[in-house]
């Protein structure tokens, strides 16, 4: 029995180490000098996501243990800012993926999820009935514009405009640099949570056309409480990107974001259900079943040939 995703550590970033499996567990070997190597053991069973930065090598035995414990492994750039590839554990059930696909494939349910995302994001449960997605986008734009103005006034900043141009990265102002760096870190955490539940990061309800559409959907729920205040606090920072990553990491320790992310994803996909004791979260893998259009599922490992056939 493994820890619930909501109770586990969010992520661990490593670089310039060798990760191996020994008789005790998975450990990171760090070369201090030519005569000395330090060993740090990794709590794989209680870790949601392991970020492998530049200079990391890992053995297949270590990867097998991480997969068995349900820990996602991501290959990233320096500081964990860019994600290049990921290894998804195969011990997950498809319960939440099926819930996601069912809601995503039905236009009415998809709009209902998008509406509840808006209500969850802004604490507003008075969205008029029959509100279209275009109207929701307009309402969201007005709310964010007002929030930008409020934060700019609070920190004595003149007019602020959100600006993201990767090809002109170093020409941006400190707030935009800090916000982009902090958002990227937040995306990594949300991505790990979705993979841990077995959801598809590509099937978004508001965003679409990218392998991270659902990541962006869920991350938008928390930017007003996490990355935005941090970014505006760093409007005079000399190195806003680095400071934004550090401040976000400190904030995550205090607010315990991961349990909230798991609960919110489950509430969005299955409204009205009690997910506190969800049986699908990183428990021992259940047996594979067979799909049946009438009963839903049938036990596997059974010969269904007619008698005498």
**Band of pLDDT at residue 48, cut at 50, 70 and 90:** confident
CA 145 to CA 154: how far, in whole Å? 14
Angle in degrees, CA 258, 220, 47, rounded to 5 = 20
Q: Which domain holds residue 215?
A: 95-269
Residue 298 lies in a domain: no
- Kindly state the average pLDDT of the residues 33-49: 85
Q: Of the spans 53-57, 125-129, 253-257, which averages the highest pLDDT?
A: 53-57
For residue 260, which phi and psi values (nearest 5 degrees)? Answer: -65, -40
Is residue 46 domain-shared with residue 102, that is, in the same domain? no
Tell whether 151 and 240 lie within a shared domain: yes
pLDDT digits (tens, 9 = 90+) for 152-196: 999 998 888 887 776 776 778 899 999 988 998 888 888 878 877
* Claim to verify: residue 19 and residue 69 sit in the same structural domain: yes
Percent of the chain with pLDDT over 70: 85
Q: What does the pLDDT average to over 136-154? A: 91
**Domain of 260: which CATH number?**
1.20.120.920
Residue 285 is assigned to a structural domain of this protein? no
Q: Which of 87, 108, 143 is the last residue of a domain?
A: 87
Both structure tokens of 173: 């102002």
In this prediction, residue 264 carries a pLDDT of 94
pLDDT value for 214: 96
The pTM (predicted TM-score) of the whole model is 0.74
Residue 282 counted as domain residue: no
Round to whole Å and give the CA distance between 122 and 143. Answer: 8
Answer whether residue 274 is part of any domain: no
Asked if residues 21 and 57 have their Cβ atoms less than 8 Å apart, the reply is no
pLDDT band at 4 (very low <50, low <70, confident <90, very high): low
Do residue 118 and residue 52 come from a single domain?
no
Q: Which residue has the higher pLDDT, 230 or 85?
A: 230
* pLDDT given at position 122: 85
When comparing pLDDT for 192 and 229, which is higher? 229
Q: How many domains does the chain have?
A: 2
In a domain, 280, yes or no: no
State whether residue 26 is helix, strand or coil. Answer: strand
Are 102 and 27 within one domain?
no
pLDDT at 279: 41
* Confidence band, pLDDT 50/70/90 cuts, at residue 147: very high
Question: What's residue 285's pLDDT?
Answer: 45
Per the CB < 8 A criterion, the answer to whether 214 and 194 are in contact is: yes
Give SS3 for 235. coil
Same domain, 33 and 119: no
Q: Is residue 77 part of a domain?
A: yes
- Regarding whether 247 and 149 lie in a shared domain, the answer is yes
Residue 234: pLDDT over 70: yes
Strand 72-76 and strand 83-87: the pairing is antiparallel
CATH of the domain at 65: 3.100.10.20
Up-side HSE of residue 34: CA atoms within 13 Å toward CB? 0
Give me the pLDDT at residue 51, please: 83
- Give the separation between CA 67 and CA 73, rounded to whole angstroms: 8
- Collapse the DSSP code of 82 into the 3-class scheme (helix H, G, I; strand E, B; otherwise coil) and give the result: coil
Task: Compute the distance between CA of residue 292 and CA of residue 174 in angstroms, rounded to an integer.
Answer: 56
Q: Kindly state whether residues 210 and 78 are assigned to the same domain.
A: no
Assigned domain for 305 exists:
no
223 and 189 Cβ atoms separated by less than 8 Å: no
In whole numbers, what is the pLDDT of the chain averaged over residues? 83
Structural domain includes residue 300: no
Question: Do residues 48 and 10 lie in contact, with contact meaning Cβ atoms separated by under 8 Å?
Answer: yes
Same domain, 81 and 117: no
Per-residue pLDDT tens over the stretch 89-105: 665 678 899 999 999 99
- pLDDT at position 202 is 94
Q: Strand 47-52 relative to strand 9-14: parallel, antiparallel, unpaired?
A: parallel
164 shares a domain with 230: yes
């Amino acid at each position: 029995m493994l820890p619930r995703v909501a109770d586990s550590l969010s992520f661990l970033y490593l670089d310039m180490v060798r990760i191996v499996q020994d008789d005790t567990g998975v450990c990171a070997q760090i070369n201090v000098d030519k005569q000395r190597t330090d060993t740090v053991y990794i709590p794989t069973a209680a870790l949601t996501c392991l970020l492998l930065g530049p200079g990391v090598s890992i053995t297949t035995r270590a990867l097998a243990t991480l997969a068995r414990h349900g820990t996602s492994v991501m290959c990233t750039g320096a500081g964990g800012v860019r994600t290049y590839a990921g290894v998804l554990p195969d011990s997950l059930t498809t319960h939440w993926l099926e819930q996601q696909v069912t809601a995503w494939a039905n236009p009415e349910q998809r709009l209902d999820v998008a509406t509840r995302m808006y209500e969850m994001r802004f604490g507003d449960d008075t969205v008029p009935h029959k509100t279209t997605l275009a109207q929701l986008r307009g309402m969201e734009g007005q709310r964010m514009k007002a929030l930008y103005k409020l934060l700019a006034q609070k920190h004595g900043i003149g007019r602020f405009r959100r600006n993201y141009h990767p090809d002109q990265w170093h020409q941006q102002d400190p707030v935009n640099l800090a916000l982009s760096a902090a958002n990227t870190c937040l995306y990594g955490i949300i991505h790990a949570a979705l993979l841990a539940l077995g959801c598809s990061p590509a099937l978004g309800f508001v965003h679409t056309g990218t392998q991270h559409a659902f990541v962006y959907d869920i991350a938008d729920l928390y930017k007003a409480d996490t990355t935005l205040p941090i970014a505006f606090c760093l409007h005079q920072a000399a190195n806003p990107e680095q400071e934004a990553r550090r401040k976000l990491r400190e904030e995550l320790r205090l607010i315990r974001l991961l349990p909230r992310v798991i609960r919110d994803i489950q509430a969005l996909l299955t409204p009205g259900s009690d997910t506190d004791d969800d049986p699908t979260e990183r428990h021992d893998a259940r047996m594979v079943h067979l799909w049946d259009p009438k009963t839903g599922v049938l036990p596997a490992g059974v010969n269904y040939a007619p008698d005498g056939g």
